[in-house]
């Protein structure tokens, strides 16, 4: 449980990530295949561990463009 007393999320499906970030399913699948987005398989289901997703998004995915003015 987290500080708010709710159960923390363990993992995300590619569809979950697509819906929350707008990254396409094809892009996410390619990132998994290339090993840039770590994943775990549970049968046919592919899950991204929450910690791995946070790290991936924090470092910026190759398709993520940052505004150069942000640091200025």
Q: Which domains does the chain have, with CATH numbers?
A: 11-61 (1.10.10)
Contact criterion met (CB below 8 Å) for 38 and 44: no
- Strands of the 11-13 sheet, one edge to the other: 11-13, 45-49, 40-42
Write down the pTM of the prediction.
Answer: 0.69
**Distance of CA 58 to CAs 6, 7, 41, 62, Å?**
23, 22, 23, 12
Contact criterion met (CB below 8 Å) for 29 and 37: no
Question: Mean pLDDT of residues grouped by 10 in the chain (72 residues)?
Answer: 62 96 96 97 93 89 50 46
Q: What pLDDT is stored for residue 1 in this prediction?
A: 52
For the residues of 28-60, what is the DSSP string, one character each? Answer: HHHHHHHTSS--EEETTEEEEEHHHHHHHHHH-
């Amino acid at each position: 449980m987290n500080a708010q007393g709710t159960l923390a999320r363990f993992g995300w499906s590619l569809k979950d990530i697509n819906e929350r970030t707008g990254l396409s399913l094809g892009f996410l699948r390619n990132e998994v295949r290339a090993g840039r987005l770590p994943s775990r398989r549970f049968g046919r289901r592919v899950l991204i561990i929450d910690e791995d997703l946070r790290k991936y998004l924090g470092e910026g995915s190759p398709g993520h463009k940052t505004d150069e003015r942000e640091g200025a």
